[in-house]
Amino acid sequence: MRCYSRAMRKRTAGLLVLALLTGWVAGWYMRGLRTPEPQVSRVSARVMPAPPPGVARSAGNDTVASPVGNDTLRQLLDNKAFARAVAQFEALQARADDAAVQRARSLLLAHAGRLNAQADYAAAIKLLRLYLQADYRDAEARMLLAEAYRGENDPRAAIEQLYEAKGQAWRPETLTQLTGRIHALVADYAGALKRSGDASGLLDLYQDLTQLEPDHAAYFIGLATSQIALADYDGARQSLLLVAQDPEVGARARQLLEQLRMTAIEPQQPETSAPASSVAAIPLLRNGNHFLVDAGVGGGQQARLLIDTGASLTILTPGALKRRGVAAEPTGKTGLFTTANGRVSAPIYRLDSLSVGEWRVSNLEVGVLALEDPRLDGLLGMNFLGKFQFFIDQAQAQLRLSPAEPPN
């Protein structure tokens, strides 16, 4: 079995103050979502900070008062008393007054839209970040926040918010709309980086994007060309091999691989080795819009896991641990996990190893949490997948894995 560790890479890039990124029209979000997305049965294994014990969390230092009427809420918003306004929204949530919550939500988001239209992006960001602490699943709010970040010339933050929105969205038309906006923004930002000659910025961007959307093959071409520009030829070869058979970009990937070979940049392989020997193709099972993979946990017991690139931590269910006889040690730590029914605390265990195909990660921490789908033994999260380069081939239902650091 092979075990690879991945060096931590920086997640931030210098902001580019470019004129072409300030032209995002003020009404950008108006084509977007006007109705909250239905709640779906999904666990996100991002460990969230716990709210203070006792009373419900306040959006600021103000004491949560009794809910107020719409006129008072409008006045708070007009006076930029955003913490108090969101605190009132939370008080309505605590009362479970759905109609009042929806009216307050509409006022809050409409005000954020007006702030964006007035180019008061800093105020919009402040309001929306407070609001998302109270309702973190609101896709429309994240789209508005993305607009504000772009207005502030922070396209990386805008892209991240759109991906967060996509993770919370459910309707097919919403997902299609978000995907189109993401790809358009990425194209603009990547073009700006290219024109400025920022090869390192491009590399950072595409390294992030290939993990945020690992089934979008075009990102791997962008990653490979960035690696070539920085003379990381082995890394480029690994990136290209992941998508060499893709129906949309495979021809371009093979062309670049041939260019590397013809210029004697590609490392020579023994005649007995297959060209793609460092890339493993793991079969996947479809589950609606998601994919399942069989993994070896705690000494070889098989578990069926849902691939979840939005989960920072891998999850196993208590039933899977018991039923499979998996050897796992408690760490004494707990994590706060977001679920369809809110945030729940769950213990964190340590597995001796977890493997997918021939690739293994040792001493992996996992959250132990019940899932609503009884067919699942857990979720495969980024603390495993992030150790590798990976591509989800939807056409062939395969997970393609290669070491994060190309072999010497």
At residue 109, does pLDDT exceed 90?
Answer: yes
pLDDT at 341: 66
pLDDT at 32: 39
Residues in the chain: 408
> Would you give the DSSP letter of residue 21?
G
Average pLDDT on 130-157 reads 95
At residue 408, does pLDDT exceed 70?
Answer: no
Using CB atoms within 10 A of its CB, is residue 300 exposed (0-12), middle (13-18) or buried (19+)?
exposed
pLDDT at 208: 94
Mean pLDDT lowest among 49-63, 132-146, 355-369:
49-63
At residue 312, does pLDDT exceed 60?
Answer: yes
pLDDT at 6: 38
Token code pair at residue 11:
């997640």
- Of 263 and 397, the one with more pLDDT: 397
Which residues in 182-213 are b (16+ Cβ under 10 Å) and which e? bbebbebbbebbbeeebbebbbbbbbbbbebb
Q: What is the pTM of this model?
A: 0.75
Q: What are the tens digits of pLDDT across the range 249-298?
A: 999 999 999 999 887 554 544 333 333 447 889 999 998 778 999 999 87
* CA distance to 79, 176, 246, 322, 325, per residue, from 156 (Å): 30, 20, 27, 42, 43
Mean pLDDT lowest among 96-100, 143-147, 201-205, 277-281:
277-281
Q: Do 57-182 and 280-403 show the same overall fold?
A: no
- Of 64 and 99, the one with more pLDDT: 99
Q: Where are the domains of the chain?
A: 57-182, 198-262, 280-403
Partners of 368 in the β-ladder: 316
Which residues in 52-71 are b (16+ Cβ under 10 Å) and which e? eeeeeebbeeeebeebbeee
Work out the mean pLDDT of the chain and round it to a whole number: 81
Q: What are the tens digits of pLDDT across the range 342-362?
A: 678 899 999 989 999 888 899
The percentage of the chain sitting over the pLDDT mark of 70, rounded to a whole number, equals: 77
CATH of domain 57-182: 1.25.40.10
Task: Count Cα neighbours of 40 within 13 Å in the Cβ-side half-sphere.
Answer: 15
pLDDT at 364: 93
At residue 301, does pLDDT exceed 70?
Answer: yes
CATH of domain 280-403: 2.40.70.10
**Ramachandran quadrant class, 351 (left: phi over 0; alpha: psi -120 to 50; beta: rest):** beta
Average pLDDT on 195-199 reads 95
